[in-house]
């Protein structure tokens, strides 16, 4: 502890020379610029009055900028409808996936039961399925059960995508929570369900948050599955709707970009709000982090 | 470790033997309906000639799909491209992600702002990022060629030339994947006790010594599973290639999964695509088992 207090004097690590600090800042700045350029491109295109890409201007904001694309997207195009569909699908996916994964992860972390190892291996191997391998039969099954173009037809495959990874993440995090806390509760007469809900689950908040974020984003940003399952325009989620604006010969880039920016914003805000959980809560493969 | 072995011996106090089955039941039902059943159905379709024309009356055709895949003239080229794609991407993700994490894992004013900005490529839906990059690669008006022109370099035919296109899609995917590895590395770095480094200081070790003998070995249990998973995800990425180049020009940027995705959903060759997916899965499975076995990536995971 004494050491930690000593190193916390000053703004920088003791071992870092001024030259090294300058180099670190320079490298991080370059990395940030690279990370921001495509986002800035979308912002820039969304402000252009024309729908093409035909400008050689390299300014931060186009000289003839306008908010017209946003007006068109919000009031004339069905963007809000797509957003509503996406919210329903992603929100339900997140809530149900976290419920399923937090319980399964708890059992896999705390109990040694028949089939446990097989279940862990199976969940991990689902990550190896090439997307078309499940998508094709899923599509055929959904079409035979008349579930194409429905919310259920979207939510169930998204849950199947999100749950295996979320379960592993939850299991890895529960592993880091001392089981002795539950012994103490049991002495006071708590059942296992009570000690799980009142002690272990609240302590796993970072992992719950990361699982929720991961599951929500699965639905919010998924294009490849949605494109196959949704063919009716009124059911489009954001990704499918936005990409329809991009057709082979006449892409409405300005409007597309305005819509894309409005789609990105909630995702970016969520990520920033959750970013403090991401460092500790992200435990892959049961590794203690 | 002690606490783990204790829960192996017996049941947790207060728990019933059926508890674990109750907790895992929802996940099992979901997996049975959405993974196992489609999986079996998919294997079955792989042995039929199902297509858009033969959607309801298709026939079992034995191994014909598999023989036509294995005799596909482009197969080996696409396979090698998939391997190069995966290796280059994962190597870049780990190297750059770890490097950025090391830069951020110190006292540095403004570091949380840097961290938030560097996560953004992960926060953006992939299809949006892919299409943004596509406009940046545009030949006459794309951002990259405009910048190159400013510094006196001839425009690059990013999406017109096979090799440049392949580089273009790799760059997009590298950009997308760095934040995940950065966050994983950052989490791992923070769990390394500072005292270990201070001991090396006493012995007069250099920064490189610390990296090789402390950072890398300590991060191995975090990085190996993450890289394994990253490799599988990268190998199975359809998004980027489908949206940026559509596998083109010609088929020059297709990897196995984007090839199968287009066979299934752009050309409606369902039986063929199901058989092909099965082959890819078996291949990945064999690789993963060998790789995990060699690296003991699952050490402590169970």
Number of cross-chain residue pairs from A and B with Cβ atoms under 8 Å apart: 333
Residues B10-18, mean pLDDT to the nearest whole number: 76
Check pLDDT > 50 for residue B5.
no
A221 → chain B, closest CA residue: B125
Q: Do A134 and B34 touch (CB under 8 A)?
A: yes
Q: Dihedral (C-alpha) A109, A112, A115, A116: value to the nearest 10 degrees?
A: 20
Question: Is residue B4 domain-resident?
Answer: no
Predicted pLDDT of residue B1: 36
pTM: 0.84
**Which residues of chain A are in CATH 1.10.3720.10 domains?**
72-281
Least reliable range by pLDDT among A174-178, B89-93, B97-101, B161-165: A174-178
Q: Do B117 and A253 touch (CB under 8 A)?
A: no
Tokens of B191: 């769990």
Element housing A123 (H / E)? helix A116-126
Predicted pLDDT of residue B96: 97
CB-CB: which of A28, A100, A243 is closest to B26? A100
Q: Do B274 and A242 touch (CB under 8 A)?
A: no
Q: Do A38 and B187 touch (CB under 8 A)?
A: no
Q: Do B131 and A243 touch (CB under 8 A)?
A: yes
Tokens of B139: 């030949």
Q: What is the pLDDT of residues B133-148, one digit of tens each?
A: 998 998 888 889 989 9
Question: Is residue B6 domain-resident?
Answer: no
CB-CB: which of A132, A185, A260 is closest to B273? A132
What is the CATH number for B275? 1.10.3720.10
Q: Do B131 and A260 touch (CB under 8 A)?
A: yes
CA distances to A164, A263, A270 from A275, rounded to whole Å, are 22, 19, 8
- How far is A182 from chain B, CA to nearest CA, in Å? 8
Question: Is residue B201 domain-resident?
Answer: yes
Predicted pLDDT of residue B78: 92
Predicted pLDDT of residue B95: 96
Chain B environment of A41 (Cβ under 8 Å):
132, 135-136, 143
Check pLDDT > 70 for residue A248.
no
Check pLDDT > 90 for residue B73.
no
Predicted pLDDT of residue A255: 87
Question: Is residue B34 domain-resident?
Answer: no
**3-class DSSP assignment, residue A93:** helix
Q: How far is CA A167 from the centre of its chain?
A: 15
Tokens 């079955």 -> residue = B44
The percentage of chain A sitting over the pLDDT mark of 90, rounded to a whole number, equals 35
Give the structural domain span for B179. Answer: 74-295
CB-CB: which of B11, B128, B225 is closest to A285? B225
- How far is B8 from chain A, CA to nearest CA, in Å? 6
Predicted pLDDT of residue B276: 92
Check pLDDT > 60 for residue B177.
yes
Q: What is the pLDDT of residues B183-230, one digit of tens each?
A: 889 888 888 888 888 777 777 777 788 888 888 888 888 888 888 889
Question: Is residue B51 domain-resident?
Answer: no
Calpha distance B36→A38 (Å, rounded): 39
Q: Which residues contact B13 (CB under 8 A, 6 or more apart)?
A: A182, A183, A186, A187
**Confidence at A287, pLDDT banded by 50, 70, 90:** very low
- How far is B161 from chain A, CA to nearest CA, in Å? 19
A102 → chain B, closest CA residue: B23
Q: Do B125 and A264 touch (CB under 8 A)?
A: yes
Chain B environment of A216 (Cβ under 8 Å):
none
Chain A environment of B228 (Cβ under 8 Å):
285
- Phi, psi (5° rounding) for residue B60? -70, 130
Least reliable range by pLDDT among A235-249, B18-32, B232-246: A235-249
In total, how many domains does chain B have?
Answer: 1
Tell me the sheet residues that pair with B60.
Answer: B48
Predicted pLDDT of residue A247: 67
**Confidence at A7, pLDDT banded by 50, 70, 90:** very low
Chain B environment of A228 (Cβ under 8 Å):
265
The percentage of chain A sitting over the pLDDT mark of 70, rounded to a whole number, equals 91
**Confidence at B111, pLDDT banded by 50, 70, 90:** confident
Calpha distance B300→A176 (Å, rounded): 12
Superfamily of domain A72-281: MetI-like (1.10.3720.10)
A36, A43, A97, A128: best mutation site toward chain B, by most B Cβ within 10 Å?
A128
Chain B environment of A45 (Cβ under 8 Å):
135
Q: Do A221 and B126 touch (CB under 8 A)?
A: yes
Largest CA distance in chain A: 73
Q: Do B285 and A128 touch (CB under 8 A)?
A: yes
B127, B158, B186, B214: best mutation site toward chain A, by most A Cβ within 10 Å?
B127
- How far is A219 from chain B, CA to nearest CA, in Å? 10
Least reliable range by pLDDT among A130-139, B23-32, B39-48: A130-139
The sign of the torsion formed by the CA atoms of B160, B166, B168, B172 equals positive
Query: What's the first-to-final CA gap in chain B, in angstroms?
Result: 12
Tell me the sheet residues that pair with A41.
Answer: none
Closest CA to A153 of A176, A179, A135, A180: A135
Predicted pLDDT of residue B81: 94
CB B125 within 8 A of CB B132: no
Q: Do A284 and B226 touch (CB under 8 A)?
A: yes
- How far is A267 from chain B, CA to nearest CA, in Å? 6
- How far is A73 from chain B, CA to nearest CA, in Å? 16
């Amino acid at each position: 502890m004494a050491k930690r207090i000593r190193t916390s004097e000053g703004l920088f690590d003791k071992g870092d020379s001024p030259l090294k600090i300058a180099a670190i800042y320079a490298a991080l700045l370059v990395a940030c610029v690279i990370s921001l350029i495509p986002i800035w491109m979308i912002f820039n295109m969304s402000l252009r009055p024309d729908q093409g890409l035909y400008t050689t201007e390299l300014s931060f904001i186009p000289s003839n900028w306008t908010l017209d694309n946003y007006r068109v997207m919000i009031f004339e195009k069905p963007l809000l409808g797509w957003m509503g569909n996406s919210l329903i699908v992603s929100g339900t996916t997140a809530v149900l996936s976290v419920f399923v994964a937090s319980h399964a992860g708890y059992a896999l972390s705390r109990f040694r039961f028949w089939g446990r190892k097989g279940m862990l291996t199976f969940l991990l191997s689902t990550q190896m399925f090439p997307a078309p391998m499940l998508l094709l039969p899923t599509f055929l099954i959904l079409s035979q059960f008349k579930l194409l173009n429905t919310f259920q037809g979207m939510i169930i495959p998204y849950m199947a995508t999100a749950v295996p990874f979320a379960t592993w993440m939850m299991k890895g995090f529960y592993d880091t929570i001392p089981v002795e806390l539950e012994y103490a509760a049991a002495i006071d007469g708590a059942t296992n369900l009570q000690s799980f809900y009142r002690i272990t689950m609240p302590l796993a908040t970072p992992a719950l948050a990361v699982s929720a974020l991961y599951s929500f984003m699965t639905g919010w940003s998924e294009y490849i599955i949605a494109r196959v399952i949704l063919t009716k325009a009124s059911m489009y989620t954001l990704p499918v709707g936005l990409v329809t604006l991009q057709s082979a010969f006449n892409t409405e880039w300005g409007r597309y970009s305005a819509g894309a920016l409005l789609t990105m914003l909630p995702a970016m805000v969520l990520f920033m709000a959750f970013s403090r959980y991401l460092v500790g809560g992200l435990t892959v493969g049961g590794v203690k982090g | 470790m002690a606490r783990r072995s204790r829960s192996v011996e017996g049941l947790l106090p207060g728990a019933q033997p059926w508890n674990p089955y109750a907790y895992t039941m929802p996940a099992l039902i979901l997996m049975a309906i959405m993974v196992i059943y489609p999986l079996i159905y998919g294997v079955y379709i792989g042995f039929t000639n199902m297509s858009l024309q033969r959607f309801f009356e298709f026939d079992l055709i034995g191994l014909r799909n598999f023989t036509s895949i294995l005799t596909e003239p482009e197969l080996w080229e696409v396979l090698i491209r998939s391997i190069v794609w995966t290796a280059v991407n994962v190597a870049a993700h780990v190297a750059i992600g770890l490097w950025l994490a090391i830069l951020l894992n110190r006292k540095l004013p403004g570091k949380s702002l840097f961290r938030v900005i560097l996560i953004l490529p992960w926060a953006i839906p992939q299809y949006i990022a892919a299409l943004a990059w596509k406009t940046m690669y545009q030949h006459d008006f794309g951002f990259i060629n405009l910048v190159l022109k400013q510094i006196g370099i001839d425009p690059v035919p990013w999406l017109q030339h096979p090799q440049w296109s392949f580089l273009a899609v790799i760059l997009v995917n590298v950009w997308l994947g760095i934040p995940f590895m950065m966050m994983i590395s950052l989490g791992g770095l923070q769990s390394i006790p500072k005292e270990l480094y201070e001991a090396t200081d006493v012995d007069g070790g250099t920064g490189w010594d610390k990296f090789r003998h402390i950072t890398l070995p300590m991060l191995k249990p975090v990085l190996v599973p993450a890289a394994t998973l990253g490799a599988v995800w990268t190998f199975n990425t359809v998004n980027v290639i489908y949206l940026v180049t559509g596998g083109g020009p010609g088929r020059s940027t297709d990897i196995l999964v984007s090839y199968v995705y287009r066979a299934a959903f752009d050309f409606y060759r369902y039986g063929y695509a199901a058989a092909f997916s099965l082959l890819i899965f078996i291949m990945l499975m064999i690789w993963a088992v060998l790789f995990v076995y060699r690296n003991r990536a699952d050490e402590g995971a169970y």
